[in-house]
Amino acid sequence: MTELLPAFSLRHPTSIEEAIAIHGSAPDARYVAGGTDLIVNLRRGIGDPETLVSLNRIEDFQNIADGKDGGLVIGAGVTIANLANDVTIRTRYPALRVAAGEIAGPGHRETGTVGGNLCLDTRCVFYNQSQWWREANHFCLKHQGEICHVAPKGDFCHAAFSGDLAPVFLVLDAEIEIAGPDGTRREPLSALYTGDGMDHLTLKPGELLTGIHVPANTPPAAYEKHRVRGAIDFPLAGVAVALTKDGDKVKTLKIAVTGTNTSPFLVEGLEAFTGSTLGEDDQAKLADIVQKQVSPMKTTLVQPFGRRRIAGAMARRQAVSLLAGG
Ligand SMILES: Cc1cc2nc3c(=O)[nH]c(=O)nc-3n(C[C@H](O)[C@H](O)[C@H](O)COP(=O)(O)OP(=O)(O)OC[C@H]3O[C@@H](n4cnc5c(N)ncnc54)[C@H](O)[C@@H]3O)c2cc1C
Ligand code: SF4
């Protein structure tokens, strides 16, 4: 008989310390927040942990509070819906609201969390399938199999990171706070990702994300995603742009992309646009720079070439719009 879910014991710690202790006492334990990603995978036979450590009853985990440096500290357990509806987020960081409002469907946003979104498993059309489908296709390198169906000659997993919030946090220079058996640390969000679709987070065993620090004076920013179904879907490409200006010229420009590579990433080489009015030639150059650093593989049913061009076009459009002041 097919089981809906593997058997596991669900623990409900009320503090971070207790969560880490429980995780440490059960070797294959997994943290679970909203469960909108993890539980779906477990139902598909991806993973079989004996213990799930719920983060939902941890005090302060669900708060959005003022940071010591004038910025904001967003608890990792804040739901996507609460993030999108928070008045401070809506007024001070509207790009975060846009990205949050476009994640999954309303029910997912009520339970899915910011921490879960940043730690989302990577995705691939050969991986996000039922057990019988994957078994019929001899599984794949990322789980239970021996070859990658996307790049069969290699030993690397190209599954794409597809969380919507990460690119916005990246262009806003957000930092994450991590707690674990060896204490706490704070680091740039970019340090969370390894670049390997198989094991995509740098978190050590037992470590968890506790909060995200967003600085006080962030530049105007925007987020746009492209997806197959407008009502509910992961990004085939998602682009965040932050831009400051000096008169009608670019002063600083940051672009980050999700949905295409194994990690969300900041586009490099954008200093070249300082002082630019983003005329036609520079717009074409900008789109080209983005396209060259975006490297989607055949991990979705949509062709990589199209996703690359779309990412470039979205970056160009948003940069022009922000420079025009909109
Ligand atoms: C139909 C559908 C559509 C979706 N569409 C989108 C979409 O468009 N965009 C998008 O971004 N996502 C989408 N998602 C994925 C998901 O709903 C969201 O990304 C959500 O924010 C995940 O949060 P969660 O709390 O439910 O994560 P969980 O499922 O609880 O956890 C996800 C992973 O993160 C780990 N984790 C959770 N919290 C922490 C923490 N604090 N520290 C360390 N590890 C942690 C878990 O162990 C697990 O590995 C979709 C999901 C479904 C089912
Ligand atoms: S990229 Fe390859 S190894 Fe990774 S999930 Fe897809 S098929 Fe599996």
Say if residues 124 and 197 touch (Cβ distance below 8 Å). yes
Total number of residues shown for the chain:
326
Query: For residue 255, which of 211, 226, 293, 227 has the smallest C-alpha distance?
Result: 293
**Nearest ligand for residue 20 CA:** 1
113 CA from centroid of ligand 1 (Å): 7
- Rounded CA-CA distance 150/52 in Å is 31
Residue 192 contacts by C-beta under 8 Å, 6 or more apart in sequence?
Answer: 118, 119, 176, 201, 202, 203, 209
122 CA from centroid of ligand 2 (Å): 9
Q: Is the CB of 23 under 6 A from ligand 2?
A: no
Q: Is 229 helix (H, G, I), strand (E, B) or coil?
A: coil
pLDDT tens-digit profile of 16-43?
999 999 999 998 999 999 999 999 999 9
Q: Is the CB of 53 under 6 A from ligand 1?
A: no
Tokens of 18: 């207790």
Q: How confident is the model at residue 75 (pLDDT cuts 50, 70, 90)?
A: very high
Kindly tell me the burial class for residue 18, based on how many C-beta atoms sit within 10 Å of its own C-beta (0-12, 13-18, 19 or more): middle
- Rounded CA-CA distance 76/134 in Å is 32
- Rounded CA-CA distance 53/304 in Å is 37
- Pairs from 131-139 (Cβ < 8 Å, separation ≥ 24): 131/44, 131/45, 134/44, 134/45
Check residue 46 and report its DSSP letter: S
Q: Is the CB of 159 under 6 A from ligand 2?
A: yes
> Best of 10, 31, 227 to mutate for ligand 1, by most ligand atoms within 8 A of CB?
31
> Best of 134, 141, 194 to mutate for ligand 2, by most ligand atoms within 8 A of CB?
141
Q: How far is CA 203 from CA 33, 134, 189, 216, in A?
A: 16, 27, 12, 26
**Bigger pLDDT: 60 vs 97:** 97
Query: For residue 191, which of 172, 170, 162, 206 has the smallest C-alpha distance?
Result: 170
Check residue 141 and report its DSSP letter: T
Rounded to the nearest integer, the mean pLDDT of the chain is 96
**Nearest ligand for residue 83 CA:** 1
Amino acid code (one letter) for 58: I
- To the nearest whole percent, how much of the chain has pLDDT over 70? 99
Q: Does residue 77 surpass a pLDDT of 50?
A: yes
The residue ranges of every structural domain in the chain are: 1-59, 221-323
Q: How far is CA 65 from CA 72, 94, 209, 288, in A?
A: 6, 17, 16, 39
Q: Is the CB of 103 under 6 A from ligand 1?
A: yes
Name the fold adopted by 1-59: 3.30.43
Query: For residue 169, which of 250, 121, 99, 87 has the smallest C-alpha distance?
Result: 99
pLDDT tens-digit profile of 136-157?
999 999 999 999 999 999 999 9
5 CA from centroid of ligand 2 (Å): 23
Q: Is the CB of 159 under 6 A from ligand 1?
A: no
Q: Does residue 3 surpass a pLDDT of 70?
A: no
Q: How confident is the model at residue 231 (pLDDT cuts 50, 70, 90)?
A: confident
pLDDT tens-digit profile of 170-220?
999 999 999 999 999 999 999 999 999 999 999 999 999 999 999 999 999
Q: Is the CB of 139 under 6 A from ligand 2?
A: no
Q: Is the CB of 36 under 6 A from ligand 1?
A: yes
Kindly tell me the burial class for residue 145, based on how many C-beta atoms sit within 10 Å of its own C-beta (0-12, 13-18, 19 or more): middle
Write down the pLDDT at residue 1.
Answer: 45
Tokens of 164: 């919507």
Tokens of 101: 């409002």
Q: How confident is the model at residue 2 (pLDDT cuts 50, 70, 90)?
A: low
**Of all protein residues, whose CA lies closest to atom 4 belonging to ligand 2?**
157
Residue 36 CA, distance from chain mean position: 14
108 CA from centroid of ligand 1 (Å): 9
- Rounded CA-CA distance 305/20 in Å is 43
Name the fold adopted by 221-323: Enolase-like; domain 1 (3.30.390)
